[in-house]
Amino acid sequence: RPGTSAKNWCNWPDEPFDKMDSTLSVQQYIQQLIRKDPSDIHEILNIPQYQDEDVWKYEHLRQFCMELNGLAVILQEECQPKTCYQMAATDQWIFLCAAHKQPQECPAIDYVRHTLEGASTLLNSNKYFPSRINIKESSVTKLGSVCRRIYRIFSHTYFNHR
């Protein structure tokens, strides 16, 4: 029967980080750790010796955003513009969407889409992140803004869809 069985899918031997030598090594290593044991958060976040901390954070944020798309797909079922007409965590916390020319309210699911699209655009921008090996300090400051906006997705989900 043609194809690959689920058992053999993504079943290749692990490679030590110090043996990886491509520009994508950090991404590959993080994905390898997740594939090996997604519950071992300590190991996944543990920065290898001699690895640049900013690149490590950047690659983790890229991976996190990729995986967060799965939550966005699930949210589409119940986070409708009619019921979640604004991005709110509680009655006291309403977030404006930065994807518009002027920050403004938009339905929560649109805020989620806009945030993930904006994060993807930024994290793949040659202007801010021309290298996957080292990152300019001025670009590192952009990571905090992405994290803050992503946190809002979790806040909304927790307070409105648990």
Annotated binding residues, as ranges? 79, 84, 156, 161
Residues forming beta bridges with residue 97, ordered by sequence position: 104
Whole-angstrom distance, CA of residue 76 vs CA of residue 29: 31
Annotated binding residues for Zn(2+), as ranges? 79, 84, 156, 161
Whole-angstrom distance, CA of residue 52 vs CA of residue 106: 37
Q: What is the DSSP string of 17-78?
A: GGG--STTHHHHHHHHHHHH-TT-HHHHH-PPTT--HHHHHHHHHHHHHHHHHHHHHHHTTT
